[in-house]
Amino acid sequence: MSSHSHYLAIDLGAESGRVMLGTLWEGRLTLEELHRFANGAVVINGTRRWDLLHLYAQIVEGLKKAGALNLPIRSLSTDSWGVDYVLTKKSEPFLAAPYQYRDERTDGSYERLGEVTREEIFAATGVQFMTINTLCQLHTDLLERPEMLKFADQFLLIGDTINHLLGGDPVAEASLASTTQLYNPAHHDWARSLIARLGLPEAIFPKIVPSGTVIGTLSGELQAETGLRTVKVVASCSHDTGAAIAAVPASSEEGWAYLSSGTWSLLGVESPVPILTEEARQLNFTNEVGYGGTIRLLKNITGLWILQECMRFWRESGQNHTYTDLVNFSLEAPPLTSLINPADPRFLRSGGTTASGGMPARIAEYCRETAQPAPESVGAIARCILESLSLLYRKTLGELEQLTGKPINRLHIVGGGTRNDLLNQCAASATGRRVIAGPIEATAAGNILIQALACGSVSSLTEAREIVARSFPQNTYEPQETSVWESAYKRFISLA
């Protein structure tokens, strides 16, 4: 790596998106945010949808800024959240505004599958049961708008859709496909027998490609509009968590777990093979694909979403608190007073309107139901959420050790949640394990390094992780007050 090489990562999250420039030089990676834009569900006709035209227009603005730099950019790639999709027809980019996974149309989905059992689904896919899954969404389409499935040529997940609109082939990248609960991680293909059993049209399922596949070049139309020259379009890890885990600065030694901390908390380990046992199903773990065909054995936990919904309620009530404010308020509140189970279904959906009391009212309701004092101040509510999340991390790590038979002695936290020092310290104290936090921009870093692997600038995932370790700071947190947290964990388990 004697010369600079440049790449673009289009990183789409549930709250915002970014176009990031990544530069590799002398074994280090630097990142520069070229363009950031808001994202979020649009409520229309009683449904929650993604505004894909807005996202596309903002991405093009970011590409224009990249073109203005006049750099020899080698490739670009998009990553996004999982499970959501568009239906396409020939040259039509999408037939309807895509549903957001939190839309209530899929409530009770598994009860509507007829003779298809949970055991059958897990044996075929190894994916955690959540009604947000693509399986539930497509089956709801089959029941409620079958004409759409009959008319469509195929469906594409969000990150793959953007890659296609930019000039790539219309394909399903493996890491993103593996979030659908319609992908077989043992056969590296769609779970075709399950798809047939569900009555879904097999013709709409696109070709699957491995992470790090070159799928085309930037379209001539966009080259003219943005000023970018011929740029490869790469399907890196189109799933944001897959990209983030590729950038975990861990050594090749065993004994570590990862936590991608953001709107969701995705906590797991890397495994060479999927774990499809009945115990894994009962514990509701998921087997998703990582770079190189590795398996991300993990659990999706409702993460900072709960705090984000509280912040939305407070903002609409006239209280504009920053994350830094919330940490400071939390430190003023007494510790481990009230606990919630973040996995309770009431915390999955939107907190609703200010008139209903929002997410803070749901937390208070939970605490009253479980004979605990309801937190009243902003700091007490925030502290309740962060401490409860940390205790759920401990429970999940114990389940991972149970499933793999291997001890976990350290936890790597990556993503935006690493900015929250209190959460990081709570995670160390609650789990009794060393926590290494960073990098913040793991998703963009992983996206870019997988592109570099595809373009031949990086030789292996091990080298990519060494680059991350050299390029970005990490903070270490050791467990504190372990006896106090042990007592709190016993209380938490009685709730969960």
CA 119/CA 152 separation, integer angstroms: 30
Among residues 176, 200, 235, the one where a domain terminates is 235
Instruction: Name, in order, each residue with C-beta under 8 angstroms of 42's C-beta and a sequence gap of 6 or more.
Output: 48, 49, 50, 51, 97
**Helices 52-68 & 158-165 angle (0-180, nearest 10):** 50
Q: Does the annotation count 240 as an active-site position?
A: yes
Give the ranges where 5-91 is alpha helix by DSSP (H).
52-68
Whether 334 is in a domain gets the answer yes
Residue 449, burial from CB neighbour count under 10 angstroms (0-12, 13-18, 19+): buried
Q: Which of 382, 408, 379 is nearest to 393 (CA)?
A: 408
List the one residue out of 15, 29, 3, 103 whose CA is nearest residue 446: 29
Please give the torsion angle defined by the CA atoms of residues 346, 176, 241 and 306, in that order, rounded to the nearest 10 degrees: -10
17 CB-side CA count, 13 A: 28
Could you tell me the two tokens for 68? 């203005």
Q: At what angle do helices 305-316 and 378-404 cross, to 10 degrees?
A: 160
Tens-digit pLDDT string for the chain (496 aa): 447 999 999 999 988 999 999 999 999 999 999 999 999 999 999 999 999 999 999 999 999 999 999 999 999 999 999 999 999 999 899 999 999 999 999 999 999 999 999 999 999 999 999 999 999 999 999 999 999 999 999 999 999 999 999 999 999 999 999 999 999 999 999 999 999 999 999 999 999 999 999 999 999 999 999 999 999 999 999 999 999 999 999 987 789 999 999 989 999 999 999 999 999 999 999 999 999 999 999 999 989 999 999 999 999 999 999 989 999 999 999 999 999 999 998 998 877 776 688 999 999 999 999 999 999 999 999 999 999 999 999 999 999 999 999 999 999 999 999 999 999 999 999 999 999 999 999 999 999 999 999 999 999 999 999 999 999 999 999 999 999 999 999 999 999 7
Tokens, residue 29:
């990676």
- Residue 445 in domain: no
- Indicate which CATH number applies to the domain containing 29: 3.30.420.40
Secondary structure class of 492 (helix, strand, coil): helix
Residue 476 within a domain? yes
Among residues 169, 200, 235, the one where a domain terminates is 235
Total residues belonging to the chain: 496
94 domain-assigned: yes
pLDDT at 354: 67
Confirm whether 389 is domain-assigned. Answer: yes
The amino acid at 1: M
Vertex 14, ends 232 and 428: CA angle to 5°?
A: 105
Residues 215 and 190 in one domain: yes
Q: Based on the fold, state whether residues 293 and 192 are members of the same structural domain.
A: no
- The radius of gyration of the chain from alpha carbons, rounded to an integer in Å, stands at 22
- Cβ density class 322-333: b for 16+ within 10 Å, e for less: ebebbbebbeeb
DSSP 174-242: HHHHTTSS-EETTTTEE-HHHHHHHT--GGGPPPEE-TTEEEEE--HHHHHHH---S-EEEES--BHHH
Residue 454 lies in a domain: no
Cβ-based neighbours of 265, under 8 Å, separated by 6 or more: 259, 300, 301, 302, 303, 304, 389, 392, 393, 417
Strand partners, 161: none
Q: Is residue 444 part of a domain?
A: no
Same domain, 49 and 98: yes
**Residue 82 vs residues 74, 268, 410: alpha-carbon distances, Å:** 26, 16, 27
**Whole-angstrom distance, CA of residue 431 vs CA of residue 409:** 10
3-state secondary structure of 302: strand
What residues form DSSP beta bridges with 224? Answer: none
Structural domain boundaries, residue 134: 5-235
Asked whether residue 135 falls in the same domain as residue 280, the answer is: no
Q: What's the burial of 400, exposed, middle or buried (CB within 10 Å: 0-12/13-18/19+)? A: buried
> Could you tell me if 289 and 174 are in contact, meaning their C-beta atoms sit under 8 angstroms apart?
yes
Q: Helix 378-404 to helix 358-369 angle, to the nearest 10 degrees?
A: 70
Contact call for residues 316 and 277 (beta carbons, < 8 A):
no
The one catalytic residue in 160, 189, 240, 325 is 240
Do 83 and 134 belong to one domain? Answer: yes
One-character DSSP codes across 303-335: -THHHHHHHHHHHHTT----HHHHHHHHHHSPT
Residue 283 and residue 200 share a domain: no
Out of 204, 235, 266, a domain closes at: 235
Q: What sign has the CA pseudo-torsion 63, 66, 71, 73?
A: negative
Asked if 374 and 297 sit in the same domain, the reply is yes
CA distance 461 to 263: 26
Number of domains in the chain: 2
CB-CB contact of 221 with 228 (8 Å):
no
- Strand-strand pairing, 208-209 and 172-173: parallel
**Is residue 200 located within the same domain as residue 272?**
no
What pLDDT score was predicted for residue 1?
43
Residues 226 and 254 in one domain: no
Are both 294 and 408 inside the same structural domain?
yes
Per-residue pLDDT at 3: 79
Residue 371 lies in a domain: yes
- What distance in Å separates the CA atoms of residue 443 and residue 261, rounded to the nearest whole number? 11
281 and 231, same domain (yes or no): no
Amino acid at 247: A
Whole-model pTM: value is 0.93
Q: How far apart are CA 312 and CA 291, in angstroms?
A: 35
Whether residue 90 is found in the same domain as residue 135 = yes
